[in-house]
């Protein structure tokens, strides 16, 4: 962000208030800049240095935010949807702000680690197959796993429509569960890869992205802000 920005723009990026709301609040004397009432919502300020207060709430300026969510079943990985509840809808009110989106989608019935942010560059780097950021999933299957599945996954699965997947890493955890690691994000990819091997995924949970692991203390629907170390860990330590 530039050194100087309009007050209404800064507030709108840090909160869920509309420009119209901000203008109204400024006129009514609810907005303070450095302790002084500011009735001009288009005044230029320095968001890195100036202190903005709305009522008794101080606006803590952050250029971007990064949230870790333990996504529950039945919630859509999207910013908004007219017909379904989204992961942004279930964020606590104090965490909501403009332009939030899930960095990479999980199917509606898939659970686990989801990053919600407003940093498009971060999301692009995380999702690009060229960056080799592996996503780790635990899959539960409808029947006992055959030993040949591992070889097929690590050779590169060819889907029914002819799509060739990059090689995946596969570890059998039990008779009908496996840990799968992929660096792509094709639509329903893990489910389709198993389907090509004649297995149906009955449960799917993402537990890790890069070196970022799902916080085990987060209950389904739980969400918290990520630390800088956790943000960096998404791109750290490529172990393959």
* Domains, the chain: 5-59 (3.10.290.10), 66-128+212-233 (3.30.70.580), 134-209 (3.30.70.1560)
**Per-residue pLDDT at 57:** 87
Torsion angle defined by CA atoms of residues 139, 145, 150 and 155, in that order, rounded to the nearest 10 degrees = -90
Cα(100)–Cα(224) distance, rounded to whole angstroms? 14
Percent of the chain with pLDDT over 70: 97
Banded pLDDT at 1 (limits 50, 70, 90): very low
Q: Which residues are catalytic?
A: 107
Instruction: List pLDDT tens digits, range 99-145.
Output: 999 998 899 999 999 999 999 999 999 999 888 999 999 999 999 99
Torsion angle defined by CA atoms of residues 40, 43, 48 and 50, in that order, rounded to the nearest 10 degrees = -50
> How many alpha carbons fall within 13 Å on the CB side of residue 22?
23
Whether 21 has a pLDDT exceeding 70, the answer reads: yes
Q: Which residues pair with 31 in a beta bridge?
A: 54
Whether 2 has a pLDDT exceeding 60, the answer reads: no
Instruction: List pLDDT tens digits, range 29-43.
Output: 999 999 999 999 999
Neighbours of 215 (CB within 10 A): 15
Cα(224)–Cα(40) distance, rounded to whole angstroms? 34
Cα(149)–Cα(117) distance, rounded to whole angstroms? 35
Residue whose C-alpha is closest to residue 114's, from 217, 200, 207: 207
Residue whose C-alpha is closest to residue 139's, from 87, 182, 86: 182
**Per-residue pLDDT at 238:** 53
Residue 43 CA to chain centroid, in angstroms? 33
* pTM to 2 decimal places: 0.84
């Amino acid at each position: 962000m530039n050194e100087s920005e309009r007050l209404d723009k800064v507030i709108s990026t840090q909160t869920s208030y509309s420009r119209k709301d901000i203008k109204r609040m400024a006129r009514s004397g609810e907005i303070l800049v450095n302790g002084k009432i500011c009735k001009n919502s288009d005044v230029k300020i320095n968001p890195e240095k100036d202190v903005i207060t709305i009522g008794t709430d101080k606006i803590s300026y952050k250029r971007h935010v990064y949230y870790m969510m333990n996504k529950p079943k039945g919630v859509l990985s999207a910013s908004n949807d007219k017909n379904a509840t989204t992961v942004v809808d279930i964020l606590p009110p104090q965490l909501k702000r403009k332009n939030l989106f899930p960095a990479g989608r999980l199917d509606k019935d898939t659970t686990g680690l989801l990053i919600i942010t407003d940093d498009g560059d971060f999301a692009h780097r995380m999702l690009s197959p060229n960056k080799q950021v592996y996503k780790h999933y635990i899959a539960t299957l409808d029947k006992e796993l055959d030993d040949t599945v591992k070889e097929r996954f690590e050779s590169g699965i060819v889907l029914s429509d002819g799509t060739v997947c990059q090689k995946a890493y596969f570890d059998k955890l039990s008779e009908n569960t496996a840990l799968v690691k992929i660096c792509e994000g094709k639509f329903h990819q893990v489910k389709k890869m198993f389907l090509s091997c004649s297995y149906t995924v009955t449960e799917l949970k993402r537990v890790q992205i890069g070196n970022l692991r799902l916080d085990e203390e987060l209950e389904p629907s739980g969400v918290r802000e990520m630390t800088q170390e956790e943000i960096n860990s998404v791109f750290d330590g490529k172990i393959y």
